[in-house]
Amino acid sequence: MVYLRRHDYQVMSLEEAVEAMRTGRRVPDNRVALTFDDGHRDFYEIAYPIIKTYRYNVTAFIFTDLLEKESGYLTWSELKELQKDSLVEIGAHSISHKPLTRLSHSEAEREIVMSKSLLEERLGKPVTLFAYPFGALNESIKEVVKESGYTAAVGTAYRRGEFKDEDVYILKRVFVSKLSRYPFIYRFMLSGYYVPARELILRILNIRTPRDAMNY
């Protein structure tokens, strides 16, 4: 967050980014959207106070199975507190966080539909954004997400040509890892060239993303 502020990056909400894609509006190169996955407690205890300090919009994608069941995850009361803040948008991340491509169609549909329904019921607010667990998806799963009332969905980087570009139901994200602590790497990730470069490398080397190698 310090890097973004010092280098004049502007944070927009994911919904704003999606609307820009839908309307064909060009987004300046210094715009970024921030997302956090899973619903770990450290989002509430560490990330959220920093977000409030910088007044940055974020989307938090939550899978519901472990809420209030594991100490490392949010409680429903904490999640309700978060969603009352206009800076935080809550999105669905399935129920169990299993790769949807490893499930039957009916099981995947249940994960997609019920996670939205449960979050809306408990939070009293529409949930319109979805994140594919591990980035695992195919065209069939994408259609279920679309038909379930979500307006957009996020994944990761894929092999070049695996999916169409500019699809709001397959938004490609940059994974901020421990390597991001190095400024020159983080700058590359923010440049807009990182995802295309990674996709091209995956394509040339015929490497599938980790989602396909998981033993579920």
DSSP string, the chain: -HHHHHTT-EE--HHHHHHHHHHTPPPPTTEE-EEEEETBHHIIIIIHHHHHHHT--EEEEE-STTTTTSTTB--HHHHHHHHTSTTEEEEE--SS---GGGS-HHHHHHHHHHHHHHHHHHHSS---EEE-GGG---HHHHHHHHHTT-SEEE-----TTSS-SS-TTSB------GGGGSHHHHHHHHTT-HHHHHHHHHHHTTPPPGGGG---
Q: Any idea what the CATH number is for the domain that residue 174 is in?
A: 3.20.20.370
Question: pLDDT tens-digit profile of 134-188?
Answer: 988 889 999 999 999 999 999 887 877 677 778 999 998 988 888 888 989 999 9
Within the chain, which residues score under 70 in pLDDT? 161, 208-216
Question: pTM score, two decimals?
Answer: 0.91
Number of domains in the chain: 1
Domain housing 80: 2-213
pLDDT (0 to 100) of residue 179: 87
